[in-house]
Amino acid sequence: MTKCTTIALLSGGIDSATAAAIAKKNGDKVIGLSFNYGQRHLRELKAACDIAAYLRLSEHQIININLAAWGGSSLTDSQYSLPTQGVIEGVIPNTYVPGRNTVFIAIGLSLAEARGASQLVLGINAMDYSGYPDCRPDYLDAYQSLANLSSKSSREGHGIKLLAPLLHWEKVHIVQEALKLGIPIEKTWSCYNGQEKACGICDSCRIRDAALKKAGRGDLCSDKQT
Amino acid sequence: MTKCTTIALLSGGIDSATAAAIAKKNGDKVIGLSFNYGQRHLRELKAACDIAAYLRLSEHQIININLAAWGGSSLTDSQYSLPTQGVIEGVIPNTYVPGRNTVFIAIGLSLAEARGASQLVLGINAMDYSGYPDCRPDYLDAYQSLANLSSKSSREGHGIKLLAPLLHWEKVHIVQEALKLGIPIEKTWSCYNGQEKACGICDSCRIRDAALKKAGRGDLCSDKQT
């Protein structure tokens, strides 16, 4: 049986690692894709490489695309402070990077087409990042409609499929699935800061810690500071 | 009156120069955006810079995004030969770069959002490149639907508008408009090869020459070889 080839966008965090592991478990040939996009630190790229190696992906591409050239986010412009106040319903935090997912998925579609992959798997999650415009289900639906038309193969009716298996999952559910799939959580990186140890206080550490706690895990970012 | 800010994708060719000049003529504040995407040569980027300077754009960003990392096109992989046989109805030539327009427009949307621009103007033309999936009107319509959802401002109902004023124009019409707008045609670059002079035989030179001839211009790419 010919295996399906799937591109997995890997950020180095738990969500994208879980999405990639789900594709692997399905028996897909998985190619990883990560981005050096001018983010505050490259610690997360090291994590992405570790996860790609752990999952024995057939290939792992790391692409430079300098979105820091125009900034507009605390993740690409150090003039902004990183948020630590927790997620506020209806407010888009300054960690939102203009157009980031749109750019990343577009590059993923390019790689998919060049490699003959029929799927792109994303760790996008609408629950914790409900404020981000590019994590919403209707955004993904619209991207799917575009992907249905954008490639050479789309002319023969074969668009590239966008998969977001975690879209509606609670974070604790993602952690539980990651553990079930054997993902080495300690190799993933969520912290917005790029120090040797996770800061434990940024919103990303808080969301991660809350989920790990609920899942009964002890290795919290906040513990590392004590 | 507050001027509208428009991002203009500039390839260095006549089409994108004309689209940018139309936006300038409308009184928009125009920011240019060009790509070093691993194309065969950088001659066209020099042309893009010349056009940006000529049009006195308020800013011109040149972004590296190495689509040659996975190739799949004669423009990003020198193993392919450049086509010289002329456009064949219904056939996608090997100059098609997987996902290129999808990636370029995505990066344009990112810049637009960061700069508060409300429009993106493209030189896309469906007449001469009818085979390219990413030059078709329905592709652009689908991208507009995505752009209507993808940015922060889209949550308040202000999506970024994609403009493709040349979409249905014959090439000779584009050349006539370029001349009317005072674009220095000799500063633009269309040739797929990156030699000092245009080759005059690749499909891009042929399409350009045919339009220039029809418009009564004498400075043809093919003449430069004699």
Query: Do the Cβ atoms of A84 and A204 come closer than 8 Å?
Result: no
Could you tell me which residues are beta bridge partners of residue B161? B119
B134-144, pLDDT tens digit by residue? 889 999 999 99
Q: What is the pLDDT confidence band of residue B1, given thresholds at 50, 70 and 90?
A: low
What residue in A sits closest to B90 (Cα-Cα)? A155
Query: At A31, is the secondary structure helix, strand, or coil?
Result: strand
Mean pLDDT value across residues B127-131: 68
Q: What is the DSSP letter of A3?
A: P
Residue A213 token pair: 């706690």
| Cross-chain Cβ contact A102/B136 below 8 Å | no
Mean pLDDT value across residues A171-186: 95
B161-174, pLDDT tens digit by residue? 999 999 999 999 99
| Chain B neighbors of A152, CB-CB under 8 A | 92, 96, 98, 133
| A107-116, A205-214, B1-10, B168-177: the lowest-pLDDT one | B1-10
Q: What is the pLDDT confidence band of residue A194, given thresholds at 50, 70 and 90?
A: confident
Q: What are phi and psi of B44, to 5 degrees?
A: -70, -25
Q: Position of tokens 């399409």?
A: B207
pLDDT greater than 70 at residue A158: yes
**Whole-number pLDDT of residue A212:** 94
Query: Do the Cβ atoms of B182 and B24 come closer than 8 Å?
Result: no
Q: What are phi and psi of A29, to 5 degrees?
A: -80, 120
Strand order across the A29-36 sheet: A59-64, A29-36, A5-9, A119-121, A161-163
Listed ranges A81-95, A149-163, B163-177; the one with the highest mean pLDDT:
B163-177
**Whole-number pLDDT of residue A36:** 97
| Chain A neighbors of B146, CB-CB under 8 A | 102, 139, 142-143, 145-146
**Whole-number pLDDT of residue A14:** 96
What are the Cα distances from residue B65, in Å, to B37, B162, B167, B215?
A: 5, 21, 25, 35
Of B142, B148, B155, the CB nearest to A149: B142
Query: Do the Cβ atoms of A57 and A200 come closer than 8 Å?
Result: no
Q: What is the pLDDT confidence band of residue B195, given thresholds at 50, 70 and 90?
A: confident
Q: What is the pLDDT confidence band of residue A190, given thresholds at 50, 70 and 90?
A: very high
**Whole-number pLDDT of residue A113:** 95
Question: Whole-angstrom Cα distance, residue A120 to residue A113?
Answer: 10
Strand order across the B5-9 sheet: B59-64, B29-36, B5-9, B119-121, B161-163
Answer with the residue of higher pLDDT: A92 or A24.
A24
Query: Do the Cβ atoms of B86 and B203 come closer than 8 Å?
Result: yes
**Whole-number pLDDT of residue B226:** 45
- Please name which of A11, A5, A109, A100 lies closest in space to residue A51, comparing C-alpha atoms: A11
Q: Where are the beta strands (DSSP E) in chain B?
A: 5-9, 29-36, 59-64, 119-121, 161-163
Half-sphere exposure of A154 (CA within 13 A, CB side): 25
pLDDT greater than 60 at residue B219: yes
Query: At A161, is the secondary structure helix, strand, or coil?
Result: strand
What residue in B sits closest to A140 (Cα-Cα)? B146
Query: Do the Cβ atoms of B122 and B23 come closer than 8 Å?
Result: no
Mean pLDDT value across residues B107-125: 96
**Whole-number pLDDT of residue B129:** 64
ipTM: 0.94
Length of chain A: 226
Q: The dihedral of CA A134, A138, A142, A145: what is its sign?
A: positive
**3-class SS shares of chain A: helix, strand, coil, % to 5:** 40, 10, 45
**Whole-number pLDDT of residue B152:** 85
H-helix segments, B56-121: 100-115
Question: Whole-angstrom Cα distance, residue A139 to residue B113?
Answer: 16
What are the Cα distances from residue B67, in Å, to A45, B97, B101?
A: 19, 8, 11
| Assessment of whether the complete model's pTM goes beyond 0.90 | yes
B142-160, pLDDT tens digit by residue? 999 999 999 887 777 778 9
A46-85, pLDDT tens digit by residue? 999 999 999 999 999 999 999 999 999 999 998 898 888 7
| A22-31, B39-48, B110-119, B123-132: the lowest-pLDDT one | B123-132
Q: What is the DSSP letter of A225?
A: G
Mean pLDDT value across residues A16-24: 98
Residue A159 token pair: 């668009």
Question: Whole-angstrom Cα distance, residue B166 to residue A212?
Answer: 54
pLDDT greater than 70 at residue B203: yes
Shortest Cα distance, chain A CAs vs residue B64, angstroms: 6
Give the rounded percent of residues in chain B with a pLDDT score beyond 90.
Answer: 69
Shortest Cα distance, chain A CAs vs residue B65, angstroms: 6
What residue in B sits closest to A103 (Cα-Cα)? B106
Could you tell me which residues are beta bridge partners of residue A33? A9, A61
